[in-house]
Structure 1
Amino acid sequence: MNHDTPKTSLPSLPHTGEDRLREALRHARPEAMLTGLAALSLHRFASAPPVGMIDRVDVLVPRTRRVRSTGRVRVVRAAEPPQPLEVDGLPVAPVPRALADAVSALHDAGVVRRLLTEAVSGGHCEPGVVVRELNRARLLTRAHVVDAVDSLLAEGRSIAEDRLYAMVREFGLPDPLWNVDLRLPGGPHLGGVDAYWPDQAVAVELDTRAPRQDDDALWTEYTRKREHLERLGITVVHLTPRGLREAMDQQATVVRTALMAAADRQPPAYVVVLPR
């Protein structure tokens, strides 16, 4: 005799937005959460359609749950579902996971680009977290997603640079030389840095790497450049976009400490500073 629990089909949903969401969750409980475009709409994404205009509601459930997609509900499975957030009294997937689930069903490059860009420009999450979720979902093999990710990373770097400028201004740090290349006189190129204080030989570099397939090689290049500069007596401070967003005062203290410690170090090698 077969004692397996029968698979449950989800019925078509009511037409009102909130009722549709609650009905979808009720049939997939106890561990279900909204994801995809419905979740992004609840997270107040301007580039996501209102809930009432979404054709299919995505519901994220553990892989072992025996519930099937049907009608206007798409069941998305996860081996290890994230911890849901409560938004408007509903369990909702965090933005990075909701984005990945939305993108998996989208083929319009413009829509994908707008959603990813808003995730960063709206302060919902950092680019690296988004790219990690897209990579986990094996979406970085799609050309239109890769193009959107390139735009996302550019947007993330621009925002991080703006925060770096704000940090220097708001915390009264000396004005550095911005976005410069360093090289030895008549010698090799040492690399570019985001800010440089020549009198103190202190450089700041924004770590805006994203977890992609070439991440190890890129980190090796970061490390090689840092070690080379430090052998020449230049202190390199790595700051992250997340650190600048969540703890700008702490990042300012790190930079200030490096600047103040310059008087106790051996004089650095002379380097040529060029605009980047």
Structure 2
Amino acid sequence: MDNLASRPGFVGARCHDRGMKRGSWGEDHELLLAQSEDGVIRTRDLKDLGVSSSTITRQCEAGGSWRWLLPKIVSLYRAPPSRRQQLVAAKLYGGERAVVTGYEACRGLGLMNAPATRTIHLLIPNDQQLREQELLLIERTRRLPKVVVTEGIPIAVATRAVLDAARRVKARDPVRALLAEAVQRGFTTVELLLEELAQGGQRGSAIPRQVLKELSEGARSVAEIDAHRVWKRSGLPAPLWNRPLVNSAGEHIATPDGWFDEVGLAWEIDSVGFHADPTGYARTVRRNSRYAAAGILVLQTLPAQLRAAPDQVIAELRAAYRAAAATPRPSVLVV
């Protein structure tokens, strides 16, 4: 049997537990807030607490103390809602099985390359009917994802969330940034993303598929994907990407972004941000010292050069390759 206290999102005691008459709940803002989630509550819960339909309507009209967030979802504050309150409203509107996905879920998981968006992407079961709202992008699906609950909000796991976001983006760079970060930081893997992409159909899959091909070739970041593209234009043999090098004694030297094994050339894509602090700079100096001690020629390229001056980078890469080829290959091994 349904009761208010057992419903998802209901917090607090029943009316009689407070010694209140049913009709008096609408007169006590603090008691209503105690039954809400961050000030957000369903109209049916308000009615179960003794607040009449006419009171709800009056409070949400101009001059009232509340506001509508979504159909049958009310904020007990007049001020514009916070993002947290909008997410709670989306959860309550979507029902028990609704899941937040896309960029909003990516942000909830901590991915930095997920931009803030006005719309909340909400997945609901395929057999559920909900009207799309200005705040919500509602997608019905037969494949509801596994869920991570973050601050009370059910969000899709990273593999699904990043692809749900990527499928709706028309530009390649934002997709590269998001998928590369998710893989590099260990939120998911290329294999899991490819599997999810195959199961989700073809709509919007072209750009994510191209990016995943680049990532599967060894690139771990957007800069390395740009490096792949520049290298392909260079006409040079394929380098090994992100493979550790050791000297003849088995001691670690470095893990270059690109390694041309035939001639012993290391290619590092070194960002300014990575070297901006003393720790990053010291780390790079130590790395370059190990390269020098092993007799390895290193070409360092800034990420911005890969896009702003790709022809110049190609010329530098070819020149470095020729220089490395003109000297004996250093005695190092690829792990």
- The two structures have a TM-score, normalised by structure 1, of 0.50
Q: Which has the larger radius of gyration?
A: 2
- The two structures have a TM-score, normalised by structure 2, of 0.42
